[in-house]
Structure 1
Amino acid sequence: MGYKCIFSFKGQLPEMTKRIEFLGGIKVSTGTINCSLYLERVPDGSNLIPREFHLLLYDEKPKKCFTVCRDTIVETDREMVSILEKTNSYKKRQTTEALISKYELGDFIIRVGPIVFRTEIRGILVEVEYTACSTPVTSPFNCTKLLSEFINGNLGPFPEPIQTSFDFSAYPTLPKSYSDLHTSYQYVNLFRTIN
């Protein structure tokens, strides 16, 4: 797995896909990414503040889901969804969905598509992965400058330069190597700003 940068912008999807295809990007698949907010059920009249967490589901990982709660991110089996439904201890409050198309372009994988919240398109999601950072010799975190140049120089123009480095210090349990947990952190933070 290479280093990923995930962002959204207010623009037109056809323009972005034309840029990707003009650069030589080849569409290889489609899918969805779902981010649901769950709230703890508390007794009526209680002064307790319900705990909450986000649950991420990726079509590309049909057996896994990712749970983000406060300063913890964990990868769990997809059975987590049915357990939540059966125990009835948490209720799903809202879901944001990205309907993505995946493109391959040299050392880059680009996922792009509309972000839908309550049937309304809230922006265009772009995930750019630099796969050459996945070699053991290269630290994925050292690839942010190259990723920034690729995104801002080829996929823009954007109103402001896209930030490609992220502060993961809020989640001290994350592994040192970039992983799906880091990607989930980026998605949850993005979806929080959209709702």
Structure 2
Amino acid sequence: MVVIVQQFPIPEGKTGQQVVDMLIKQFEAMAFNRIGNFVVDCETYYSSPTITPPRVLNIIHNSDFPASCFAQLDTGTCLRADSYFDAMMMVLNGIYQAKRGTKIESKGPKFQKGDFVVKIGSVSIGPSFRGILIEIEYGPCSVPLYCWDLLKEFMKSFMKVPKEPPPYLKAKMGEICTPTDIISQYNIHFTNLRKATPIASCPPPLTVKGSSNEVQNNGDMA
């Protein structure tokens, strides 16, 4: 399989949930089959002051690989281990410690259309919505170079397509795509979205004219 992970833009004046709902309706209208849900999460650990140079370690899980846990350093090195690797982080507590409030996740529905699988991920840090990631998977091919044009044509049906592959994928066009390549793409986006300004995930509550809240507010203003 070949997988590309892209950020989906949120138009001004729209909330994240409105855009997700729009995409779901669009996929249903295009006869995509919903095949379940997915989640990719990442928790970041920072090295102790005794380690020079300081390192950042990201522990990432993907529901498509339930028996695995991925560990990626800020150098780009990515290790695929079994799910018990999380327990090892407790043993390494004196070397790497998680920073509270840094866990980020992308979750949502996934759809299938022929040989393609598309996932709509709402990205959040706790209650803070950060953006939308779209994962596109093409099953019959394992080398990006051989199916990039096909991927572009498919993506054009529901999103803007870059002229060239993203930098990470471009550097690996002639190589076999592996699960660690999927994780690395998510980690790049997670790093960027952590720095992004939080976005409204739901529309603001409507104020009903004549409601008790409005009466109270008017009274305060008086």
Q: Same fold (TM over 0.5)?
A: yes
Structure 1 counterpart of 2:81, from 73, 76, 93: 76
1:60 matches 2:64:
yes
Change (3 A) 1:122 1:85: same
Change (3 A) 1:169 1:131: closer
- Give the drift of 1:10: 3.2
Q: Which residue of 1 aligns with 2:35?
A: 28
Q: Which residue of 1 aligns with 2:6?
A: 7
Change (3 A) 1:164 1:59: farther
Q: Which residue of 2 aligns with 1:190?
A: 189
RMSD: 2.4
Structure 1 residue matching 2:182: 3-state secondary structure: helix
Say which one has the larger Rg.
2
- Give the drift of 1:35: 1.4
1:41–1:91 Cα contact (<8 Å) kept: yes
Structure 2 residue matching 1:122: 3-state secondary structure: strand
- Give the drift of 1:22: 1.3
Structure 2 residue matching 1:150: 3-state secondary structure: helix
Where does structure 2 lack aligned partners over 5 or more consecutive residues?
Answer: 11-18, 195-222
Change (3 A) 1:71 1:125: closer
Structure 2 residue matching 1:99: 3-state secondary structure: strand
Q: What is the percentage of aligned positions where both structures have the same residue?
A: 21
Q: Which has the higher contact order (CA 8 A, sep 6+)?
A: 1
**Partner Cα distance (2:152, 2:42) in 1:** 25
Q: Which residue of 1 aligns with 2:105?
A: 97
Structure 2 counterpart of 1:144, from 138, 142, 148: 148
TM-score by length of 2: 0.73
Where does structure 1 lack aligned partners over 5 or more consecutive residues?
Answer: none
Between Structure 1 and Structure 2, how many residues are aligned? 181
TM-score by length of 1: 0.83
**Partner Cα distance (2:162, 2:4) in 1:** 9
Change (3 A) 1:51 1:163: farther
1:111-157 deviations in Å (ceiling 9; x for gaps): 112101232111111101111214xxxx3332112111211x2112x
